[in-house]
Amino acid sequence: MHGLRELDARLPNALDRLPPERQRAVARWAMRRAYEEAGLDGVDWIAPALDAVERGRPLPPPFHDRDTVVERLLGDPDVPDTTVPPALGWQTAEIRQQFLALPALYAAVEGDPLQGVIDALFAAAVTYGSAYGTLLAEARSAFPGELGQAGHRR
């Protein structure tokens, strides 16, 4: 929660007020946005996992094992390789978007809906890098009235 609170101080509280089914809806939306932003939604072996999450089905192979997914991300020439400046004061100039987006999928299937939505939205935000405000504005637009007004970065 700390990372998301650094990006938007009010957002975690707004997410906490949502009923679990809405938390899951926001988490799925954030997952999809992260994967679209990172160019992963069109990769033939990744798209079925996104669809499975959105339909409430179990993750297909290889998504049962994160290490295997990371290896495949690294080895597949069809996986984009794009970088962004970091969203927070991380000690690096650029970070690969595809690795930033990856946790959003696992967050969207997290057993605890509040933890899942916080983690998925944070993963999506950092996938946008220093332009994370764009994603947070999109979230407020996609879920009007539920996510409140823009918060302030600490």
Q: Give phi and psi for 138, each to the nearest 5.
A: -60, -40
Residues 141 and 149: their CA atoms lie apart, in Å, by 10
The per-residue pLDDT for 120 is: 98
Query: What is the reported pTM?
Result: 0.91
Let me know: does 108 contact 31? Beta carbons within 8 Å: yes
What are the structural domain ranges in the chain? 2-39+82-142
Residues 49 and 44: their CA atoms lie apart, in Å, by 10
pLDDT of the chain along its 154 residues, tens only?
568 999 998 999 999 999 999 999 999 999 999 999 999 999 999 999 999 999 999 999 999 999 999 999 999 999 999 999 888 766 667 889 999 999 999 999 999 999 999 999 999 999 999 899 999 999 999 999 899 765 544 4
| Structure tokens that stand for 154 in this block | 């600490």
Rg of the Cα atoms in the chain: 15
Q: Residue 87 burial by CB count (10 A; 0-12/13-18/19+): exposed, middle or buried?
A: buried
The per-residue pLDDT for 153 is: 47
The per-residue pLDDT for 86 is: 84
